[in-house]
Amino acid sequence: MIYFNNAATSYPKPEQVTEAVQACIRNMPASQFRGGAQIGQEDIEDKCKQALGKLLGISAFSRIFFTSGATESLNSVLCGLELEGDILVTQTEHNSVLRPLLNQQKLKKTSMKVIPCTGEGEITPDALNKSLSLSAKALVINHCSNVTGKVQDMEMISSFARDHGLLFIADVSQSAGCLPVDADAWGADALIFTGHKSLLGIQGTGGFYIRPGLDLIPLKFGGTGTNSAKLVYGPSEYEYEPGTQNLPGITGLLAGVQFIEAVGIEKIAEKERRLMRMLYEGLARIPGLQLYGTAKTCQGPVMSLNFPGLSPSDAAYILWSSYGIVVRAGLHCSPLIHEAMGTAGSGTVRISVSYFSTDEEVRAFLDAAAEIMASLSPAVSQ
Amino acid sequence: MKIISKRESREKCAESGWFAYDYLLDGKIDRDFILGLKPLGGLVYLDMLRQPFFKVESDYFMLKGIQGNDYFRAAVHGKHEELLTAVEDFVNRL
C-alpha cells in the first residue's frame, strides 16, 4: 500500500508518537490540577505548548490553547473575536473557515468577502488591494493550500493586514510541521493549527494561538480545575480549555513535535520538496495529464492533477483498487479554489506526501499514472 | 453472479451528493459480467489497464468496479435510491 493522502491525515506516525500515546493511556492519568497527583510529574500540556511555540515561532507560547483540531479552533477564534464588518478570506480557504463564517449565529454581524486567487492558488498584492473595504476587520489566510500546495507570501500578506488595521488570522493546518512557520515574525494575531497532519500527532488534536492582549469570548464554558466557585467570568478572565483535556492526544502531539525538532524542519521540507519535484517532473512527461501547478510555483507537499476522461473519484478508485495507492478525490473541502482552477464540477485527484514517503513510492505512482493515461485512449465507451 | 452483501460506502466525500454503496459478489468480476451491464446505461470499460476498470452510468445511478475483484460500487442520486433495487435484481440475474 502506498499512502499519498497525508494532506488529509499523516500516515505513518513516528514510532515515538505511538509509544507516547500508549504510555499515556497505560500510566495513571494526570487529571488537570485536581488532587495533587501530578506533583513531581512533568506538565505535558505546558511542555507541548513550549515545543509548539518553538516550532511555530510563538514566543508567548502560553497563549496556545488546545482544541480538537483546526475546525474547532477556527470556530472558537472567529466567533470569539466578536467582529462586526467584513472578514476577508482567500479563495483558497477550507470549509472550516467558510462554513463558520456563513453559518455561525455569532457571526451574523459579519460579511465574508473573498479575495480571489490565481489558478494555482496564489494571493497577489493586487487581489488584496482590490478586495479591501472600509469595513474590513480581519483577514484569514491559508498558509499552504490543501489543494495545490501553493505557499503564500506571508510576509507580504501580514504586512498588508497590518497596514490596513486588519486582524491577521493565519491557518497553518497544512504547513505546520513541514514548512517553516513564524507567527511572531508575521505579526499574527491568531494562528490555527491541527495536530494530525504534518505535526504527526493523532486525530482529535490541534489548537490556536491568540496573541497577548487579544481576548476571545469562549465558545465553550465548563470545568477548568481552577477557581471552581467562580461561575460568571468578567472581561479578560476567560479560560479557553474547559473540560478534561485530550491528554493522550496532546502527549502524542508533543512526541510528533519533538520528532520534527529532532529531524529538523528544513530537512523535512527539503525531503518533501524533492519528492514533489520528482512527482511534478515525472507527471509532466505523461502526455495528456492535467497538472495544476509546478514544483517551482507550488512548494507544499500536496498537488492536484486530473486524468482527462476520468472523473477524479474514478481515478482515485482505480489507483486504490488496481495499484494500492491511496489518494484523495474531489473538492478537498475547499470549494472556492476550484473556481479559479476550472475544476469546480468534480474537483481533482490530490497527491500528498510526507517525510516518510519514499522515492520508490513516487516511482510506483508515476508508473501507475502513465499506465492509466495510456489506457484511456482506446477505452470502450458505449 | 449473486450479490451477497451490501454496505454503505465509507467514502461519502468521493461521491458528493450521491449515496454510495459497496456490493460484495459471490464470484470475481469478469469481462462477460462487465459487458452484461450494458443495458443499465453508458459503459466505460478501460480494458487496457493492468486490472480493467468499468463504469456504467445512467441519469440517476452509477456502478463502477475493477475486473478481477469480487466487489463493485454503486452510487445513486439521493432522490432515486429506489432504483438500486432494480439494479440489484439485474446484477443477480447476470
What pLDDT, on the 0 to 100 scale, is given for residue B84? Answer: 87
Burial class of B93 by CB neighbour count within 10 A (0 to 12, 13 to 18, 19+): exposed
| Residue B85 in contact with partner chain A when CB distance is under 8 A | no
Distance CA A105, CA A90 (A): 22
Q: Contact A317/B53, CB-based, under 8 Å?
A: yes
Q: Which of B10, B49, B73 to mutate to test the interface with A (most CBs of A within 10 A)?
A: B49
Task: Give the burial string for A298-334 (b: 16+ CB within 10 Å, else e).
Answer: bbbbbbbbbbebbbbbbbbbbbbbbbebbbbbbbbbb
Distance CA A206, CA A75 (A): 13
| Residue B27 in contact with partner chain A when CB distance is under 8 A | no
- CB-based contact B90:B39 (threshold 8 Å): yes
Distance CA A206, CA A204 (A): 7
Distance CA A360, CA A207 (A): 35
Does the pLDDT of residue B10 top 60, yes or no?
yes
- B13-69 tens-digit pLDDT: 555 567 889 999 999 999 999 999 999 999 999 988 889 999 999 988 999 999 999
Residue A52, CA distances (Å) to A143, A175, B54 in order: 17, 13, 48
Q: Contact A313/B42, CB-based, under 8 Å?
A: no
| Residue B12 in contact with partner chain A when CB distance is under 8 A | no
Distance CA A310, CA A307 (A): 6
What pLDDT, on the 0 to 100 scale, is given for residue B1? Answer: 87
| Residue B53 in contact with partner chain A when CB distance is under 8 A | yes
Q: Name the residue among A325, A53, A97, A68 with its Cα closest to residue A202.
A: A68
Q: Which of B16, B24, B35, B46 to mutate to test the interface with A (most CBs of A within 10 A)?
A: B46
Nearest residue, CB atoms, A376 vs list B15, B46, B66? B46
Burial class of A154 by CB neighbour count within 10 A (0 to 12, 13 to 18, 19+): buried
Question: ipTM, 2 decimals?
Answer: 0.86
What pLDDT, on the 0 to 100 scale, is given for residue A382? Answer: 47
Type of residue numbered A281: E
Count, residues in chain A? 382
Distance CA A76, CA A72 (A): 6
Pull the grid cell for residue A243: 473540560
Q: Which residue has the cell 465507451?
A: A381
Q: A112: Cβ–Cβ under 8 A, 6 or more apart, which residues?
A: A86, A87, A89, A98, A101, A102
**Least CA distance to A310: which residue of chain B?**
B44
Q: Contact B53/A314, CB-based, under 8 Å?
A: yes
Nearest residue, CB atoms, A318 vs list B38, B43, B49? B49
- How close does chain B come to A334, measured CA to CA in Å? 12
Q: Contact B48/A318, CB-based, under 8 Å?
A: no
Strands A2-3 and A85-90: unpaired
- How many Cβ pairs within 8 Å bridge chains A and B? 62
Q: Contact A313/B15, CB-based, under 8 Å?
A: yes
- A161-180 tens-digit pLDDT: 999 999 999 999 999 999 99
Q: Which H, E and C letters describe chain A, residue by residue?
A: CEECECCCCCCCCCHHHHHHHHHHHHCCCCCCCCCCCCCCCCCHHHHHHHHHHHHHCCCCHHHEEEECCHHHHHHHHHHHCCCCEEEEEECCCCHHHHHHHHHCHHHCCEEEEEECCCCCCCCCHHHHHHHCCCCEEEEEEECECCCCCCECCHHHHHHHHHHCCCEEEEECCCCECCECCCHHHHCCCEEEEECCCCCCCCCCCEEEEECCCCCCCCCCCCCCCCCCCCCCCCCCCCCCCCCCCCHHHHHHHHHHHHHHHHHCHHHHHHHHHHHHHHHHHHHHCCCCCEECCCCCCCCCCEEEEECCCCCHHHHHHHHHHHHCEECEEECCCCCCHHHHHCCCCCCEEEEECCCCCCHHHHHHHHHHHHHHHHHHCCCEEC
Distance CA A204, CA A71 (A): 10
Q: Contact B14/A381, CB-based, under 8 Å?
A: no
| Residue B43 in contact with partner chain A when CB distance is under 8 A | yes
- CB-based contact A205:A69 (threshold 8 Å): yes
What pLDDT, on the 0 to 100 scale, is given for residue A380? Answer: 46
Distance CA A373, CA A288 (A): 7
Query: pLDDT tens per residue, chain A (382 residues)?
Result: 999 999 999 999 999 999 999 999 998 876 555 555 555 556 899 999 999 999 999 999 999 999 999 999 999 999 999 999 999 999 999 999 999 999 999 999 999 999 999 999 999 999 999 999 999 999 999 999 999 999 999 999 999 999 999 999 999 999 999 999 999 999 999 999 999 999 999 999 999 999 999 999 999 999 988 888 999 998 888 999 999 999 999 999 999 999 999 999 999 999 999 999 999 999 999 999 999 999 999 999 999 999 998 999 899 999 998 999 999 999 999 999 999 999 998 999 999 999 999 999 999 999 999 999 998 865 444 4
- A327-374 tens-digit pLDDT: 999 999 999 999 999 999 899 999 999 999 999 999 999 999 999 999
Q: Which chain B residues are Cβ-neighbours of A323 within 8 angstroms?
A: 50
- Sheet of A190-194: strands edge to edge? A64-67, A206-210, A190-194, A167-171, A136-142, A85-90, A110-115
